[in-house]
Structure 1
């Protein structure tokens, strides 16, 4: 594992009903994205800055987290497509098939619901924004 500094988010934790189902789902989609899933202790697993734990894990407060939207970066459109396929084959439900979105030019994404109903997205922002440190979007 590598600790990253200078990002907006240090980590995100999801507390889930069925840790086994979530581990199956996240291991499949993270493998497509090239992110290892580790289980350093009982009751939880980690993938980069994402921690997923059971309600009775020492890493949680005993309460399930609410519904969240997490968007993971993909290296290209093919990875978004593979993410979507892996998610549906491993307990995810369709929430938006891969395709161009109107958010801004080049935004190619797929959306799935994880076993707890979280909206999980894989997005490729297009070649135009890949090598820029900041992008201004008009809303």
Structure 2
């Protein structure tokens, strides 16, 4: 994998999930990323990636050490409709319901949906309500 340009400016640099069935996970994540308007980054030997998320098999070179348990990932959505689209895409592509779209009590305007991916990871899409950003991301080229 050769990356010449990345966008940074968020808290997390990258996350790697180790999964049992790479094809099932790729189908699931491709569908929810399409709903969230996040382009797939590419594939490699035993892994695929999008933005700062890498998903691999346990025998991938990138998956070293003892395998861990279930994880929670939350992806940002631009609006409530995008959260709804994420939820529907996830359920149609191997995800299981873990909390239908709706307001949550975390703060006013917190609208989210939760699904379990094919490996049982808790995946969320959240819209925090109206907000202004100074910039969508920082562009870095190598």
Is 1:113 the counterpart of 2:88 in the alignment? no
Q: Quick one: distance in 2 between partners of 1:37 and 1:99?
A: 27
Mapping of 1:1-139 within 5 angstroms?
A: 2-61=5-64, 63-127=66-130, 130-131=131-132
Residue aligned with 1:111, SS: strand
Secondary structure of 1:126's partner?
coil
Q: Which consecutive aligned stretches of 4+ in structure 1 deviate over 6 angstroms post-superposition?
A: none
Deviation at 1:132, TM superposition (A): 5.6
Q: Which runs of 5+ in 2 are unaligned?
A: 135-142
Structure 1 residue 92: deviation in Å? 0.2
Structure 2: how far apart are the matches of 1:81 and 1:118?
Answer: 19
Aligned Cα RMSD in Å?
Answer: 1.6
Calculate the TM-score normalised by the size of structure 1.
0.88
Q: 1:36-87, CA deviations, whole angstroms, 9 ceiling, x for partnerless residues? A: 1233312000010000001111221165442111100000000000000000
Q: Distance in 2 between matches of 1:43 and 1:28?
A: 19
Q: Distance in 2 between matches of 1:21 and 1:40?
A: 14
Distance, in Å, in 2 between the alignment partners of 1:62 and 1:115 is: 22
Instruction: Report how many aligned residue pairs link the two structures.
Output: 131
TM-score for the superposition, normalised by structure 2 = 0.86
Check conservation: 1:14, 1:65, Cα contact below 8 A: no
How far apart are the structure 2 equivalents of 1:59 and 1:72? 23
